[in-house]
Amino acid sequence: MKVFALLVTTAAGMAGASGNMDRQAAVAANDQAVGALHQNQLGRAQLLAQQALDLARQAVPPGDPLIAVTLNNLAQSYRFEGHYLEAERDYREAIGIWEAALGKQHPDTARGLMNLAALDHERGRDGGAEDLYRRADAIFEASYGKDDPLALVARNELAEVLRGEGRVSESERLSRETLEPLEKSLGDRDPRVIRALANYARLLDQTRHAPEAAAVRRRIRGLAAGFR
């Protein structure tokens, strides 16, 4: 499961009462791109996200956060299609805009860091992913508290990266610390919780707890069946 549904940033409400028509059109195209991403319609999402970005560049100054939002979603569509170079380019540009406009400690900046971290992990660049997840977690904790779902997700994904690096003791500690609070906060059918369970199953496999891993995967299949 690749998609970080919570990290597909929407632009709802960003047009504002004084927004011009191009800005409102950019927001509308962006939100349609988000919907297409959630439905795994990647080609359509990419077209809509590119349209949203083009409209946003016409409507707002170069450093406006709306451009970062549309860049982020275009990067998401590239990433899910396996176009990693294009995804990294657009993620980094979006993060740079958020940092300049909102600050390096803003939650939107942290969301961008999370997406770039996920890309790094998918490409096997776990050292970079670890640093990015730690930075994102620190921002979410400072903004919302240690038990906020965003902070919990950041630490759970950090645990998956540590597993990939062979640091299983650290990974197991973080996994156990985050999985139960995530379930309590979001419910066990939330895609972020199902992803966390899948991460934990991989850890159990790696630590030679195959029966426990199989039980977790049976639970995941049961939860996923509820979506159909």
**HEC readout, the chain:** CCCCHHHCCCCCCCCCCCCCHHHHHHHHHHHHHHHHHHCCCHHHHHHHHHHHHHHHHHHCCCCCHHHHHHHHHHHHHHHHCCCHHHHHHHHHHHHHHHHHHHCCCCHHHHHHHHHHHHHHHHCCCHHHHHHHHHHHHHHHHHHHCCCCHHHHHHHHHHHHHHHHCCCHHHHHHHHHHHHHHHHHHHCCCCHHHHHHHHHHHHHHHHCCCHHHHHHHHHHHHHHHHCCC
138 vs 173: CA distance, rounded Å: 18
Q: How far apart are CA 92 and CA 65, in angstroms?
A: 13
**CB–CB of 182/192 below 8 Å?**
yes
CB atoms near residue 43 (< 10 Å): 10
The pLDDT value recorded for residue 8 is 53
pTM for the complete prediction? 0.88
Q: CATH assignment of 1-102?
A: 1.25.40
Q: Which portions of the chain are predicted below pLDDT 70?
A: 1-19, 226-228
Residue 175 contacts residue 213 (beta carbons within 8 Å)? no
Interatomic CA distance for residues 105 and 85, integer angstroms: 26
Count CA atoms within 13 Å of residue 121 on its CB side. Answer: 23
> Residue 223: its pLDDT value, please?
85
